[in-house]
Structure 1
Amino acid sequence: MTFSNSLTLWAGVLLILSITLWSSATAQSDVAADCCLNTSDRRIPKKFVTSFSIQTGDGPCKIPATVFVTKRGLKLCAPFPSDSPWVTELIENIISAPKTKKHMGKKHRKQ
């Protein structure tokens, strides 16, 4: 009878240990990803867009997309560049746009 109790105790310890290790490994891999879940083919005016990034279908983000960031910081999901000509054109406009320097300091008044 002692052998049976000892075996049950060891089985319980192993079960608790394996659950603890499994939940720890699962918690470490549950990193939230900021992904586009779908895309819209609605054109985005270039005057609203400041930057972009490409989301491949690899990793945690399952669909390929282009993520445009607006002046207000909104992220808009558009089709992958190879799937939509307007996306490619908007990306080229962003890349070729001259970087403007904002005037720092006080405005000068005309006297």
Structure 2
Amino acid sequence: MSLRVATLLLLASVLWSHVAASTDQALDCCLTTTNTKLPHRVVKSYSIQSVSGGCRIAATVFVTNKNLRLCAPPATKNNWVAKLIKQLKRKSHKGKARKEKNGELLCKNMMQFNKQFY
């Protein structure tokens, strides 16, 4: 009987610490935005911050090549933000196409290699 009680107490304490830890997590939100234009060559990705996600303001968060997070106004409110997002999307599609092409070449080379030895 005491083993069951000890097991239940241990389980309850583990669950309680998990619940307490998950409620203490802070959101990483932009508090202000800047209208300073960013050159596309220093930006590697972006994300959209929304008010419905728990943040106070809507923003576009750009991540630089050095992993700095820069907060800009939403794309609907600023033209340079929309253009930069468009450039990033175009750049990511080119990279995906290049990877797919390289994957096809690798498969063809492997098939030719296998034909030589079998």
Q: What TM-score does the superposition give when structure 2 sets the normalisation length?
A: 0.59
How far apart are 1:35 and its partner, in Å? Answer: 0.8
Written as runs of structure 1 = structure 2, the 5 A alignment for 1:1-111 is 28-97=22-91, 98-99=94-95
Question: Where is the helix percentage greater, Structure 1 or Structure 2?
Answer: 2
Query: Within 2, Cα distance between the matches of 1:45 and 1:38?
Result: 20
How far apart are 1:29 and its partner, in Å? Answer: 2.6
Query: Within 2, Cα distance between the matches of 1:44 and 1:28?
Result: 35
In the alignment of these two chains, the number of paired residues is 77
Q: Which ranges of structure 1 fall in alignment gaps of 5 or more residues? A: 1-24, 102-111
How far apart are 1:60 and its partner, in Å? Answer: 2.4
How far apart are 1:27 and its partner, in Å? Answer: 6.4
Which amino acid in 2 is paired with 1:44?
L
Q: What TM-score does the superposition give when structure 1 sets the normalisation length?
A: 0.63
Which amino acid in 2 is paired with 1:84?
N
Moved over 4 A (4+): 25-28
